[in-house]
Structure 1
Amino acid sequence: MTDAHRRAAVAERAARAGGAVARQAFRGELAVETKADKNDLVTESDRDAQRQVVSTIRGEFPNDAVVGEEDAVPLGTPGEEVEILSEVPTTGDAWVVDPIDGTANFARGHRTWATAVSAVTDGDIVAAATYLPTTEDLYAAGAETGTRNGNALAVSDRGDPETFAAASVGRFERGGGAGLGAIAGATVDLLGDFRRFGSMQSTLAFVAAGELDAAFSTYTPDPWDSLAGIHLVRRAGGTVTDLEGEPWTPEREGIVASNGEAHDAVCEVARAAASR
């Protein structure tokens, strides 16, 4: 097995393992904490799931860097913990982890949340897995192709942007209603219909599977919220760019992911929303 295949296999295994830990606590008694604001939530399940993801990865790649949202992860040996970086290194091998993407949904008992893991080498995504434990759907991609539950991933073939179902991805803080309203308004005015799921990684996986035609963010989200989904869309035959339609990189503004059939139209919607 090549290194690339190993990383793809470990991403799948780690996402499943972390998601299984979180699922055990889903709709149970949760201790919910807040971070940046009242709606930026974290639970002990986030930490437990991240510990399982990181432990799974370290079993195969003990020296790789780990990037994620939560704090350093204690492992089984007393005093041993794994440092969690907040930025993806531009050189070397790293893993980007979101143990529960959509914690606000998870804490409310809503089914749309995911465990996402991606492998990065020298700043490039080489493998990714997004696992939705409540539906047991595993979206995965390696160096060339992607799958959902073992079947080939493929974006939708819809070509008329007026028929597109498009989703907004990203958080909106209290007081940010005008921004969300602009996004919804631009989408409905220029495309077909608007969606918002509360889990960026799940939403991007839906684009990769053809369940949505497009998704976009007017700002560049954190890597743990986005990298796995970006890789899935690309490997499913879709297109991922910045707001201007240039190939996406972490330095570019915004994310626009689509089936590629009317990508310019989706970029126009994203730019219109950003300017309102």
Structure 2
Amino acid sequence: MASALRHAENVDPARSAALRAVAEEAARKVQAPLLAAFRSAMDIDYKVDLHDLVTVHDKQSEQTIRDLIFARVPDSTFMGEEGGSVGDGPVCWYVDPIDGTSNFARGIAFWCVSIAAVIDGEIVAGVIYDPVADNMFAADITGVWLNGAPLRSRAIAEETRATLITGYPVARDFRLDGKAEALEHFGVLAETFSTLRRPGSAALSLAHVAAGWTDAAAGFGVNPWDVTAGVLILRQAGGSYRALTLGKVAPDTPDFFCPGYVATGEGADYPTLDSVANSIDGHRNRTLKRP
């Protein structure tokens, strides 16, 4: 099985299941306020640039999730997208209160809550919750479920008949790879795959691959809170998650800390996607210096 589970035998299954239950509870607790805010007038701020939105609802939801996690699991460290690291316990939580904030702010129904628990560098529980569809994707070291029913990934074998989700390229990719090269990569993928979509949430994209609702996803600028839950959910569902270092981290970095990935459903064989991803990864590993 994939690397996220290589030490699963050292983790108590009951502990893993309990942490999954906490993550589910926390995700559901923010459903009502987020749905009340969705498609309403809201103030929008920007973090790094005009492509990186944040709302008061991101911050409020993260606070709600953090408070519940510390109430249920006091020996925690909480790493949130908005508030940074809090606590110093052995259970480390990676939380994105709204993955797909741009969609949330503009009224597009493709965003989610992503919560994952990590112990000793291994992902032991994760949930991705779609509040609009009321779909709860949840995994621990014993299995994976969608709304309580066992989940199994599946994919179309040939890439020419498959659907790919990717956010590539964005303005950052033009700067890193060159606009002509980035557009060439995109063109190859658009010509190869039957369908290419850019829905705007890495976490929910991974959940859809895990559910067999799309065949593959790829990202080239993600953070741990975007993908940690999705890594476990996808792999437990039988899919594949290949991390890419992209010149930002060392080769032995845990997968969920890597800034890039290729995710495929079970049964997929997509050489063109692998070739494009390898080209981007190779270029950035040659041109970027790790901190």
* TM-score normalised by structure 1 residue count: 0.84
Report the CA distance between 1:109 and its aligned residue: 1.1
Amino acid in the other structure paired with 2:198 = R
Determine if contact 1:128/1:142 at 8 Å carries over to the other structure. yes
1:169-213: CA deviation from partner (whole Å, max 9, x where unpaired): 478237836565344322223333211111111111110000111
Secondary structure of 1:94's counterpart equals strand
Q: 1:180/1:210 Cα in 2 relative to 1: closer, same or farther (>3 Å)?
A: farther
Q: 1:143/1:8 Cα in 2 relative to 1: closer, same or farther (>3 Å)?
A: same
Q: 1:139/1:222 Cα in 2 relative to 1: closer, same or farther (>3 Å)?
A: same
Secondary structure of 1:4's counterpart equals helix
Determine the C-alpha separation between the residues in 2 that align with 1:201 and 1:15: 14
Structure having the larger proportion of residues in helix: 2
Report the CA distance between 1:262 and its aligned residue: 3.2
1:207-237: CA deviation from partner (whole Å, max 9, x where unpaired): 0000111111234x21011111111110110
Q: 1:169/1:233 Cα in 2 relative to 1: closer, same or farther (>3 Å)?
A: farther
Identity of aligned residues (%): 32
Q: 1:197/1:98 Cα in 2 relative to 1: closer, same or farther (>3 Å)?
A: same
The residue aligned with 2:69 is 57
The residue aligned with 2:276 is 269
Secondary structure of 1:2's counterpart equals helix
Amino acid in the other structure paired with 2:166 = S
Report the CA distance between 1:264 and its aligned residue: 5.5
* TM-score normalised by structure 2 residue count: 0.80
The residue aligned with 1:258 is 264
Amino acid in the other structure paired with 1:184 = F
The residue aligned with 1:36 is 48
5+ long unaligned stretches in structure 2: 1-12, 246-250, 284-291
Of 96, 99, 116, the match for 2:97: 99
Of 206, 209, 212, the match for 1:207: 209
**Aligned ranges 1:151-230 → 2 under 5 Å:** 151-169=149-167, 172-173=170-171, 176=174, 178=180, 181-219=183-221, 221-230=222-231
Determine the C-alpha separation between the residues in 2 that align with 1:45 and 1:190: 39
The residue aligned with 1:8 is 20
Amino acid in the other structure paired with 1:68 = G
The residue aligned with 2:32 is 20
Provide the aligned C-alpha RMSD in A. Answer: 2.7
